[in-house]
Structure 1
Amino acid sequence: MPDDDPALSAQEELALARLALGEGDLRHAASHVAAALVQAPTLPEVHETLARLNAASGGDLDLFPIGQHAFVGAVVARAHLLAAAGRPAEGLDLLAAATGYAPGADWAGVPWVTAPGLPQRLDPERTARILMQICAAVPDPVPRRRRDPLRPYLTLARNAITVHPRHPLLLGAASALARRLGEVALAVTWAARGVRAEPSKLGEVWLGYAYRSAGRTRDALAALGRAVELDPDDLAVYADIAGTLADNGRLDEALDWIDRALAKDPTFDCAVHTAHRLRFQRDGDVAHLVALADFVRDHPDDTHEHGDLAESCRSRPWLGQVTPAAGPVLDALRQALAAQGAAPVAVRLDALEPPSAMRTAAAAVPGLDVEVAAVAEPDPREPRRDPTRPLWRYEGTTAAPTLPAPSAEAAERIRQLAHPAWPHPPAAYDAAVALATVDLDDLLGLLVHPPDAPATALGQVLTGQDPSLWVRCVQVWACLGLLHHRTDEPWAGSTRRRVLLELVWGVEDWITEAALFALVTAAWVDPGVRPDVARVVAERLADAAAVARERRVPIAVSLAHLALATPDLDPATRDLAGELVSGPARETPPGALRRLWHRLTHLFRPHP
């Protein structure tokens, strides 16, 4: 039988459950029924077997124990048995817990949950609490493809409101669920009825959210303003008002509201997060985001998770993603891949491209004919400072690695981890701890011998359309891995700092960018290294700018973006970086590459 058919897997579990029932082994029967529920939570045969087991055991709920490490199938089975025993509120509590654990499963898609008569057996306040528990477990809004398993709860809400049409808490909670499931008009109707039934701060907040989802900004702000009048000390509402104003281009008013909140409590998490995000939105100074990252690090017990830092870094060069490389050899590579071998592609370069770019093109398109017209001065084949362990050697204009290939284990580890996007630099640092046990030689070997991309959707897109992005991913994550090498060594004399500095000042290459990003990331997570990293970034950017006055520097704009992401950078270097980013030398990736990047960062965005 195919392993990917949940119904068939459930049938196998049911067969074993029936066999155990026939032998009187109720505990084994229960374990197989619970497993079948996980595979097919709405399959009628599963519920029929559960009913048989319930009858055979005399309603023994202990067959499905719940505790600290309860199996979700046992939790759901117990919920159904509680409902059958006339205790549906307790059953709904457990179903809501299962939904919180796995929102994509259709735990509630069973007749007793959607029965019109169920709300008559429930206290309306408890129903409201259950709906609020569901809301807390899912995003706002829920993506369309993930809404169907949650619709039974919306049916429960409809039925409950029919029975209790003027219960304010129930109407507000139902509105919150309807809003998350895309039923915006219904959300407005229910929230408005709740406020009319009994005006309250919470009711006005629900109404404001519903109006905001409906695009009725003026009404949303009015409702949220009434919430503040009812409870001037709920600073979360101030942050909501500020966010709504900012989303509608009223940034100065938004910051006024945030300043009012911070005047009441300078450490209130919602206000702090919103303030830093809006101030970065106003002036683009990364210092606001660094301060937010510091706040998050120093306040690990915030009341709830915030996405302001990730939202601010998303799609921004080096803050939330690797920058795509550009240049004539990569243009030729992409052209050859698009042509799918229809004809050989030849490219004549006026100047030498970075060794990683040249080797990536040669590996991806073996028939690619590349001719380098001249090598301009300063010679890009020479390190900017003498290394103790060079990565490349040149024969003419052809580069070859000086290091051996990494181990198969290291290659597999980087395949599992490397990705072109991350929520923010501290999150990238945390994720790279998976490379902490990889040997230094392997990490360096990965830089010049990147393994093939994995056989995943991400890997297939990169291999087929732009292998350069995969190589850059490998190099970035290998350098982030270096940050976790011998972390017991003090930073100033550490191996990790020494190796990264050598990479920064090596042959002008993508590896330069990756190593500098690792140093910048270190500055984000450790305030003590910020002066050192800012100095290195300033020196490296000044060197690139000086070379750019003599010849083209392919990595100059990317280095400038890295500088703009660096904590505590001096104003003169920040100005220089701004000039490089906005100046005439800036390279914009071609339209096809921009579309590819949009697809990668939206379809394959990693979890925070």
Structure 2
Amino acid sequence: MEARRAADRALEQARSALLSGELQHAADHLAGALAHAPTLPETHELLSRLAAQADGGLELFPLAQHSSVGRLVARAHLLAAAGRPEDGLPLLAAASGHSPAADWAGVPWVGEPALGVRIEPGVLVHVVMRLCTSVGDPAPAPVIAALQPYLTVVRHAIAAHPEHAMLLGAGSALARRLGESALAVDWASRGARARPTKLAEIWLGYAFRSAGRLPEALAALRRAVAHDPDDLSVYADIAGTLADHGRLDDALAWVDRALARDPGYDCVVHTGARLRFKSDGDITHLVELADFIRDHPDESHEHTDLADCCRDIPWLGGAPAAAPLPKGTVTPATAGDPTPDAVRRLRRVATLSWGHPPAAYDAAVHLMLLKPLDLLSLLAQPPADVAAAEIWACLGLLHHGVEEPWLDSTRRRLLLDLLAGGLDRVTEAALFALIVSAWIDPSARDDVATVVRARLSEVASRPGARSVAELALATPGLDAETRATALAMTRVPAIPRQRGRTRTRLLLRWRRG
């Protein structure tokens, strides 16, 4: 409803400008109306009136490096009205790539069979592949509905060019994302027959996989490997496909084959770490992957394997369900109330979830402009409306004195000071921050593992020890015996919290510098 009201306001302003002869102002408001409601008939009627008064209107919507989506869409419609729909479609597709769930292409001219005949197949392939990179596989339901008109264009184009292998393959990729698995298989099969290449076999393999036809999918992907044995991304695809169907040993064999060719190939490293973690649950694989990501910032494309593995695991992907721990009280020497700026910065980053421990560290970088004493004040008086305030304040401490070697660092000393004492939210948060430091800094791992091991032993029989056990399981380099103890502690019911007063922790060693 809000979008419709915004479109109506923009239309009213456009009508007024058009009546006054202010064509550019009318165009600007029309672009705004299209951005809010791309298929509203009133908008298209007014666009036609503007075009009639401005010699087609194209000069009012010039292409620029940072053209708004509304301007792109308006120009696309005017190009179609001028008899050039094949030039307008790429502009609509650019808008769809920006906001895939919006119905940019739900207009009559896109569904005309003539468009599929007029548009050059290579141009349409480029349009379709850009769309595919902007949506998931499969796409969510709103996106499927919004992108159906493009599939219609592909149908008409394939009818006009039935042997165009690239068009068939790209069309298959789009059909697969839109839930048309049978159509995807048909088009990809025809493309592979018309021109058997590595890419054609990959498209066919993906189409078979989406249709649940595993043997055919694997056969096609193996043929892709035969076309190009050095393309290790296909090895990773085969491994992922096998793992998804419960054939983990076979999947890891393909990972090993690829790593034998190139131990540093990013797709295979990510896939291998994910599958090995799936196989044995050892976070060492994830820590090694985090190290690889840190040491190889220029990867071929974005990977989500680390976050996928950490998701829903306590502390690896986010704060666990609220543990029965006291709030805890911190009273740093000479600390006052948190400043408004400190609270504002904390609100900006605080959340109950993060992709993985290094991602939590990266997110906390926004707190580096706060002094340590400000962060300690946030611990002393955590804002009630901020999620996991203690966790993020402690993560903020990790960003201070990063040039100092870990063992002699201020950040280590402050976190250990916070860790002293019983079990509460602050000690829990401090321990997590120490563990995050071990994820991002290999030189801290032995020290942090020693701290965690001692902490687990110290609190093993206390209420709330389960939370420490979960933290231990997220600790890099923890010895097998301690990990087994922690695992056993997480498998028994949590001990109910005893009522009692929260304690005060006085950080006598901290002074304002």
> Is the pair's TM-score, using the shorter chain for normalization, greater than 0.5?
yes
Alpha-carbon contact 1:36-1:46 (below 8 Å) kept: yes
Structure 1 counterpart of 2:255:
258
Provide the C-alpha distance between the structure 1 equivalents of 2:215 and 2:239, rounded to a whole number of angstroms: 13
Match of 1:557 among 454, 463, 466: 466
Alignment of 1:508 with 2:440, yes or no, is no
Q: CA deviation at 1:490?
A: 5.0
Alignment of 1:195 with 2:192, yes or no, is yes
Provide the C-alpha distance between the structure 1 equivalents of 2:85 and 2:220, rounded to a whole number of angstroms: 35
Provide the C-alpha distance between the structure 1 equivalents of 2:432 and 2:27, rounded to a whole number of angstroms: 53
Alignment of 1:586 with 2:492, yes or no, is yes
Provide the C-alpha distance between the structure 2 equivalents of 1:8 and 1:296, rounded to a whole number of angstroms: 46
Structure 2 counterpart of 1:576:
482
Structure 1 counterpart of 2:326:
355
**Counterpart amino acid of 1:111?**
P
Alpha-carbon contact 2:470-2:490 (below 8 Å) kept: no
Q: CA deviation at 1:246?
A: 1.1
What is the RMSD computed on CA atoms of the aligned residues? 2.6
Alignment of 1:419 with 2:416, yes or no, is no
SS in 2 for 1:133: helix
Match of 2:60 among 63, 82, 85: 63
Matches within 5 A, 1:294-305: 294-305=291-302
Matches within 5 A, 1:430-449: 430-449=362-381
List per-residue Cα deviations over 1:22-55 (Å, max 9, x = no partner): 3332222221111111111111221222222223
Provide the C-alpha distance between the structure 2 equivalents of 1:232 and 1:424, rounded to a whole number of angstroms: 33
Match of 2:80 among 78, 83, 94: 83
Q: Against the structure 1 CA distance between its residues 321 and 86, is the aligned structure 2 distance closer, same or farther, given a 3 Å change threshold?
A: same
**Counterpart amino acid of 2:357?**
P
Structure 1 counterpart of 2:169:
172
Alpha-carbon contact 2:73-2:92 (below 8 Å) kept: yes
Q: CA deviation at 1:487?
A: 4.1
Provide the C-alpha distance between the structure 2 equivalents of 1:52 and 1:92, rounded to a whole number of angstroms: 22
**Counterpart amino acid of 1:391?**
V
Provide the C-alpha distance between the structure 1 equivalents of 2:53 and 2:316, rounded to a whole number of angstroms: 60
Match of 1:542 among 449, 457, 464: 457
Structure 2 counterpart of 1:185:
182
**Counterpart amino acid of 2:51?**
N
Alpha-carbon contact 1:204-1:227 (below 8 Å) kept: yes
Q: CA deviation at 1:244?
A: 0.8
**Counterpart amino acid of 2:477?**
D
Provide the C-alpha distance between the structure 1 equivalents of 2:22 and 2:187, rounded to a whole number of angstroms: 50
Match of 2:384 among 425, 449, 452: 452
Match of 2:46 among 38, 45, 49: 49
**Counterpart amino acid of 1:537?**
V
Q: Against the structure 1 CA distance between its residues 162 and 6, is the aligned structure 2 distance closer, same or farther, given a 3 Å change threshold?
A: same
Alpha-carbon contact 2:473-2:486 (below 8 Å) kept: no
Q: CA deviation at 1:242?
A: 0.4
**Counterpart amino acid of 2:28?**
S
SS in 1 for 2:113: coil
SS in 2 for 1:159: helix
Alignment of 1:429 with 2:344, yes or no, is no
Alpha-carbon contact 2:165-2:192 (below 8 Å) kept: yes
**Counterpart amino acid of 2:271?**
T
Q: CA deviation at 1:530?
A: 2.8
Q: CA deviation at 1:497?
A: 2.1
Alignment of 1:519 with 2:434, yes or no, is yes
Alpha-carbon contact 1:556-1:580 (below 8 Å) kept: no
Alignment of 1:115 with 2:112, yes or no, is yes
List per-residue Cα deviations over 1:415-453 (Å, max 9, x = no partner): 443222211111111112232334434433433533333
Matches within 5 A, 1:364-383: none
Structure 2 counterpart of 1:600:
none
Q: Against the structure 1 CA distance between its residues 526 and 27, is the aligned structure 2 distance closer, same or farther, given a 3 Å change threshold?
A: farther
**Counterpart amino acid of 1:579?**
T
Match of 1:391 among 305, 308, 330: 330
Structure 2 counterpart of 1:497:
412
Q: CA deviation at 1:583?
A: 4.4
SS in 2 for 1:267: coil
Q: Against the structure 1 CA distance between its residues 452 and 152, is the aligned structure 2 distance closer, same or farther, given a 3 Å change threshold?
A: farther
**Counterpart amino acid of 1:587?**
P
Alpha-carbon contact 1:26-1:57 (below 8 Å) kept: yes
**Counterpart amino acid of 2:391?**
V
Provide the C-alpha distance between the structure 2 equivalents of 1:291 and 1:62, rounded to a whole number of angstroms: 55
Alpha-carbon contact 2:238-2:254 (below 8 Å) kept: yes
**Counterpart amino acid of 2:492?**
R
**Counterpart amino acid of 1:556?**
A
Q: CA deviation at 1:404?
A: 5.8
Q: CA deviation at 1:151?
A: 1.7
Between 1:281-290 and 1:441-450, the stretch displaced more is 441-450
Structure 2 counterpart of 1:477:
392
Alignment of 1:283 with 2:280, yes or no, is yes
Alpha-carbon contact 1:235-1:268 (below 8 Å) kept: yes
Provide the C-alpha distance between the structure 2 equivalents of 1:556 and 1:402, rounded to a whole number of angstroms: 32
List per-residue Cα deviations over 1:456-485 (Å, max 9, x = no partner): xxxxxxxxxxxxxx5xx2222222122224
> 5+ residue gaps in structure 2?
497-513
Q: CA deviation at 1:136?
A: 0.6
Match of 2:5 among 8, 22, 25: 8
List per-residue Cα deviations over 1:137-186 (Å, max 9, x = no partner): 11111122432222221222222223333322222211211211222222
Alpha-carbon contact 1:557-1:581 (below 8 Å) kept: no
Provide the C-alpha distance between the structure 1 equivalents of 2:466 and 2:187, rounded to a whole number of angstroms: 52
Provide the C-alpha distance between the structure 2 equivalents of 1:319 and 1:191, rounded to a whole number of angstroms: 40
Structure 2 counterpart of 1:532:
447
TM-score by length of 2: 0.89
Q: Against the structure 1 CA distance between its residues 137 and 110, is the aligned structure 2 distance closer, same or farther, given a 3 Å change threshold?
A: same
SS in 2 for 1:290: helix
Alpha-carbon contact 1:114-1:152 (below 8 Å) kept: yes
SS in 2 for 1:294: helix
Q: CA deviation at 1:14?
A: 1.8
**Counterpart amino acid of 2:473?**
L
Provide the C-alpha distance between the structure 2 equivalents of 1:91 and 1:420, rounded to a whole number of angstroms: 44
Provide the C-alpha distance between the structure 1 equivalents of 2:117 and 2:495, rounded to a whole number of angstroms: 62
Provide the C-alpha distance between the structure 1 equivalents of 2:495 and 2:53, rounded to a whole number of angstroms: 68
TM-score by length of 1: 0.76
SS in 1 for 2:317: coil
SS in 2 for 1:147: helix
**Counterpart amino acid of 2:165?**
P
**Counterpart amino acid of 2:434?**
L
Q: Against the structure 1 CA distance between its residues 82 and 303, is the aligned structure 2 distance closer, same or farther, given a 3 Å change threshold?
A: farther
Alpha-carbon contact 2:365-2:399 (below 8 Å) kept: yes
Alignment of 1:104 with 2:36, yes or no, is no
**Counterpart amino acid of 1:45?**
E
Q: CA deviation at 1:498?
A: 1.8
Q: Against the structure 1 CA distance between its residues 584 and 536, is the aligned structure 2 distance closer, same or farther, given a 3 Å change threshold?
A: closer
Alpha-carbon contact 1:324-1:589 (below 8 Å) kept: no
Provide the C-alpha distance between the structure 2 equivalents of 1:144 and 1:561, rounded to a whole number of angstroms: 37
Provide the C-alpha distance between the structure 2 equivalents of 1:40 and 1:583, rounded to a whole number of angstroms: 55
Structure 2 counterpart of 1:131:
128
| Alignment length (residue pairs) | 496
Q: Against the structure 1 CA distance between its residues 96 and 283, is the aligned structure 2 distance closer, same or farther, given a 3 Å change threshold?
A: same
